[in-house]
Amino acid sequence: QAGWALPSCPLQKTAGLRSCAAAAGPWARCPGWTLVTFREIWNRSFCRPLEQLVDVITEFPNEVEYIFRPSCVSLQRCGGCCGDEGLRCVPVETSTVTMQLLKIKPSGEAPYVEMAFTEHKRCECSPRFCLPPAMPPSSCPAATPSAWP
């Protein structure tokens, strides 16, 4: 029994099992343990717009001589898994959101400025080789995971 962790669940201790989940069975719960179901994990992981913090300078590389506050902004961007290494989660519908930021100039002046950022509204899984400039998007069929288990 060398290498076993100390039991943290009373059922685990009395049954001599390796994990609380094995001791508790599928319907019981041990204190401090949370079961995330397969379906919940699947629904959270597929390709879709997700909130992401985006660096302002990454979006506006020609503005590197300025300091922006905040230095990053929260945007909806495509993220998640497509279930196949040959596919990539890409935006198929976008919108523009204008945000007010402080733009600190080398002189110390710091006016408020309005900056336009692109948000992703709808995402799809698309073959990696179809991404521009390799092929025009119209010739690439989308492969969305909505019909997958």
Task: From 51, 116, 45, 47, select the one nearest 77 (Cα to Cα).
Answer: 51
Check whether 141 has a pLDDT greater than 80. Answer: no
Around Cβ 35, how many Cβ atoms within 10 Å?
10
pLDDT given for residue 34 in this prediction: 84
132, two tokens: 């521009």
CATH 2.10.90.10 domain locations along the chain? 48-147
- Higher confidence at residue 98 or residue 136? 98
The amino acid at residue 123 is C
Its CATH architecture, for the domain 48-147, is Ribbon (2.10)
Check whether 78 has a pLDDT greater than 50. Answer: yes
| pTM score of the predicted model | 0.65
What is the full DSSP assignment across the chain? Answer: -TTPPPP-SHHHHHHT-S-HHHHHTTT---TT-----HHHHHHHHBSEEEEEEEEHHHH-GGGTTSEEESSEEEEEEEESB-SSTTEEEEEEEEEEEEEEEEEE-TTS---EEEEEEEEEEEEEEEEGGGSTTSS-GGGS----GGG--
pLDDT given for residue 33 in this prediction: 81
Check whether 77 has a pLDDT greater than 80. Answer: yes
pLDDT band at 31; cut points 50, 70, 90: confident
pLDDT given for residue 89 in this prediction: 97
The pLDDT tens digits for 50-66 are 999 999 999 999 999 99
pLDDT given for residue 35 in this prediction: 86
